[in-house]
A and B are shown apart, each in its own frame.
Chain A
Amino acid sequence: MPAAPVIEIRDLVKNYGPKKAVDLLSLRLQKGEIYGFLGPNGAGKTTTILALLGLTEPTAGQISVLGLDPTRQPLEVKRRVSYLPENMGFYRDLTGRENLRYVARLNGLEKREAETRIQEALRRVGLQEEGDKLFQAYSRGMRQRLGLAALLLKNPEVMILDEPTLGLDPQGIASILKLIRSLSKEQAITVLLCSHQLQQVQEICDRVGIMNQGRLVAQGTIQELGGQGLESEEGKRMGLQEIYMRYFREG
């Protein structure tokens, strides 16, 4: 019998006025898996994520994160789930370490515990040298890595990443992806990864789901997706790029 899913969404609907942002979405994530969440801009990915964190109230449907209801217990969910928003920033006039200290305090971490976790997180993302520089002196890649360090502070069981590689150079992307992958595998962290960079999603994700206009139009491992509707041998060799384009060629 499979273990209870870490994230379970059933028939989620979210309307913004007359516009349906999410339309009857259902999703299950198992412990320790990396799930690639794909789809064009405005497909409803970010809305789904916000609902998972209790930052927006669903119009209908059930959500369970680690067995909790995010609408009712947002704080408990946010204590165990780390979220890297697409446009997250830090205070420019503080150093990386001071920024992390503030995040640790917001999480109610006790001081000594916070310091060791900050040190460990900085080491993990390779910023131990730059920890005491002002945030405004950080490069784009360093900022993104500091973002990941902030996520690690609370020893999360789930990480939700919204475009973590946006605007990074190829080495930066590779190192961030490697980091995400190793974190997830070592500590059995469940990862929900939103990205438009199909190549990278293909590299690190166990499963992918493709969203369009608020609906999940396809879901499965890359091989499964490639196999759908095609003769098997050809389908298995298909990259995510072709699969993705197949879903949106008509639209």
Chain B
Amino acid sequence: MRTILRKELADHLNSTRVVILFCLILCVSLLITNTVSLNIRSAIDRGAKDPHLFLLLFTTSGHFFSLVQFIAFFGPLIGIIMGFDAINRERNEGTLSLILSQPVHRDAIVNGKFLGGMAVIATMVLSILLLISGLGMVVIGVIPTAEQVLRLLIYAVLSILYLGFWLGLAILFSILLRSVGTSALAAIAFWIVFSFFVSLGSNLIAGVLAPVENSRDAEQVGRNARVAAMVNRASPVSLYSEAASMLMDPYRKTTKSFVLVGPMEGMSMMRFNNPLDVPQSMLVVAPYLITILALTSICFAASYLVFMRQEIRSL
């Protein structure tokens, strides 16, 4: 398996598409960091004081979106591009027969592909985060505290798992579908559905299951919002972005974007608007982290099983 893993790594690092993708992501993140850090610096100059200034680098939106949103939205493409032709291209070119006629266990092939992809993803995520942190330190002149570094690390793990989910999904499609084009389209279709249509659909489903007849009835409005949020979480994209924003923004205490408050309650909440510390943030984020890990494992396990049981005849 080590051999296959090594080959996969070399393939990814040599392949034009991964290099192009990496450069593209690098450019966009540098662009975002640039605008954001300039904004932050001017805010500091005007006297803003925030103990979590450094994390704002990742969560403030530049022209269009923040870095966290950017990874949530375009990150899946990295996983898909690296995995969509993992198995079926080898099948079509006959190199799968070549490998299988060597003394190699069949599972070594899937494992090698998955681990190779994960290693490249981890390298990408870590290097981008490090680069941005470094750049941010230089531009805004704020050094992250240990707590913030910890948050960044957890965020990196979360992002790697999230991209790993898409890699696993793409590999699964590359095993199930014979044609490289079809598997790419299938994976991209999933990406589009999860990123765009789930939020539309969740409102629709919430409207059916918990209709709001009287918009002043707090009970009804709350139930509607809860159903919509639940449906939304079927999508790994919204799971990831909720978890990421919780992690990177210590002022958010709940994952619910919708909280009903009256004016007096609002005022009293303002008074207690203190940041959560890391263990408490972790407490909120843990279920998300575990769910994404589970989704990634499911994709991998499904790929593994399907590949092991596939009749060699059809290879």
Contact = CB atoms under 8 A, between A and B. Distances in A.
Majority DSSP secondary structure for residues of A touching B? mixed
Interface string B90-107: 000111011111111100
A76 B102 CA distance: 10
Given A106-B3, A107-B102, A47 B94 contact: no
Chain B's interface size range is 10 to 19
Interface string B139-179: 00000000000000000000000000000000000000000
B311 interface: yes
Chain A's interface size range is 20 to 34
Interface string A214-235: 0000000000000000000000
Given A75-B105, A79-B103, A87 B311 contact: no
B313 interface: yes
A102 B2 CA distance: 12
B312 interface: yes
B163 to A, nearest CB: 25
> Taking each of A79, A83, A91, A102, which has the highest tally of chain B beta carbons within 10 Å of its own beta carbon?
A102
Contacts of A88: 94, 97-98, 101
A103 B102 contact: yes
B98 A150 contact: yes
A78 interface: yes
Given A89-B98, A102-B3, A106-B104, 5 more contacts: A82-B101, A85-B94, A90-B94, A90-B98, A92-B93
13 contacts: A46-B313, A56-B312, A78-B102, A78-B103, A78-B104, A85-B101, A88-B97, A89-B97, A91-B93, A91-B95, A93-B14, A103-B98, A108-B103
Contacts of A55: 100-101, 312
A105 interface: yes
A16 B7 contact: no
Contacts of B7: 102
Interface in B81-118: 93-95, 97-105
Contacts of B3: 102, 105-106
Contact of B311 (A16, A90, A107): A16
A53 interface: yes
B97 A107 contact: no
Interface in A83-121: 83-85, 87-93, 102-103, 105-108
A50 interface: yes
Nearest to A80: B103
A56 B313 contact: yes
Contacts of A91: 93, 95
B232 to A, nearest CB: 42
Interface of A: 16, 46-47, 50, 53, 55-56, 75-76, 78-79, 82-85, 87-93, 102-103, 105-108, 150
Contacts of B93: 89, 91-92
B281 to A, nearest CB: 45
Nearest to A56: B312
Contacts, number: 62
Contacts of A78: 101-104
A134 B104 CA distance: 25
A106 B3 CA distance: 6
Interface in B1-33: 3-4, 7, 14
B104 A87 contact: no
A107 B102 CA distance: 6
Interface string B37-61: 0000000000000000000000000
Contacts of B94: 85, 87-90
A49 to B, nearest CB: 10
A69 to B, nearest CB: 15
A83 B312 CA distance: 14
Contact of A50 (B4, B104, B312): B312
Nearest to B100: A55
A106 B106 CA distance: 12
A-B pairs with lowest CB-CB distance, top 3: A89-B94, A85-B97, A83-B101
A79 B3 CA distance: 16
A95 B94 CA distance: 16
B7 to A, nearest CB: 6
> Taking each of B14, B105, B313, which has the highest tally of chain A beta carbons within 10 Å of its own beta carbon?
B313
A56 B311 contact: yes
Contacts of B313: 16, 46-47, 50, 56
Nearest to A84: B101
A78 B106 CA distance: 12
Contacts of A79: 103
Contacts of A89: 93-95, 97-98
